[in-house]
């Protein structure tokens, strides 16, 4: 079976944030991701990771917009300076938290100018943080209206254009299903570019059991293909988190 990690932005919502690390370890996870760790003391998060023997797999860039505006600016024409300031802020957090990957969010935009902006900003970021693994993730527009990176062909074209060894694909099976309707086909076409995977059931974005996505078959395919990265449980528990973790076994 693949290596599973817990997304603590989604799992264990019944617990205060700092208690979720211990709960994840007790549930059998050896790694975690936190989408936006910026609202918590960085060293306290690092302490929780160390005390519980957890690998920190992923965080998002940019930090959340406190004004309630859009999250992500990498593809938004005219906001490259904003993106680059945010990216440098993320790197300061990453120096302490030491994530395996940083997911760069594209933001809401469309058209050739947005694609050119996205490519140029990613090229800059990859050069800015040569030793840091960076990812981009197609996100379906039903969940995030207007999001620029909403299909895998655009992601592949962007990765080819940037051509940086530290920039790769983040493959979310839930989003892949909502975008393409066929997780297996999307993985067959683009999985070789992926260094990180996220999962959730459909419909409902709850536990990855039942529903329309055949996760046992997907996990078997990952094993057969030798996928060595983490698979993150990024879903909204239908009840208490522990009660829904039977799929782990």
Query: What is the chain's Cα-based Rg?
Result: 17
Select which of 33, 115, 137, 207 is catalytic. 137
* Residues 223, 216: Cα–Cα separation, whole Å: 11
Is residue 150 within 8 Å of 138, Cβ to Cβ? yes
Name residue, tokens 């039977």.
Answer: 246
Residue 61 pairs with which residues in a beta bridge?
A: 104
- 113 assigned to active site: no
Is residue 179 within 8 Å of 189, Cβ to Cβ? no
* Residues 79, 109: Cα–Cα separation, whole Å: 11
- 137 assigned to active site: yes
Which residue stretches of the chain are H helix?
A: 20-27, 42-51, 80-97, 112-128, 152-162, 173-180, 183-190, 215-225
Closest CA relative to residue 145, chosen from 39, 89, 71 = 71
Residue 134 pairs with which residues in a beta bridge?
A: 102, 167
Collapsed DSSP state (helix, strand, coil) of residue 102? strand
Residue numbers annotated as active site: 137, 234
């Amino acid at each position: 079976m693949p290596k599973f990690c817990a997304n603590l932005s989604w799992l264990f919502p019944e617990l205060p944030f700092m208690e979720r690390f211990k709960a994840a370890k007790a549930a059998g996870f050896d790694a975690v991701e936190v989408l936006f760790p910026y609202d918590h003391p960085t060293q306290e998060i690092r302490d929780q990771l160390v005390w519980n023997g957890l690998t920190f797999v992923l965080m998002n860039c940019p930090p959340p917009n406190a004004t309630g505006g859009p999250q992500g600016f990498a593809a938004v024409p005219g906001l490259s300076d904003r993106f680059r300031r945010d990216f440098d802020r993320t790197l300061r957090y990453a120096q302490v938290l030491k994530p395996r990957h940083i997911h760069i969010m594209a933001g809401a935009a469309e058209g050739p100018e947005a694609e050119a902006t996205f490519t140029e900003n990613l090229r800059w970021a990859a050069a800015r943080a040569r030793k840091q693994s960076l990812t981009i993730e197609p996100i379906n527009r039903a969940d995030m209206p207007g999001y620029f990176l909403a299909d895998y062909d655009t992601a592949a074209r962007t990765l080819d254009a940037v051509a940086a060894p530290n920039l790769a694909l983040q493959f979310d099976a839930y989003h892949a299903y909502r975008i393409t309707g066929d997780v297996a086909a999307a993985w067959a076409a683009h999985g070789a570019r992926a260094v990180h995977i996220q999962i959730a059931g459909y419909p409902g974005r709850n536990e990855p059991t039942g529903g329309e996505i055949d996760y046992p078959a997907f996990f078997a395919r990952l094993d057969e293909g030798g996928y060595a990265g983490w698979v993150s449980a990024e879903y909204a528990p239908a009840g208490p988190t522990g009660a829904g973790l039977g799929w782990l076994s």
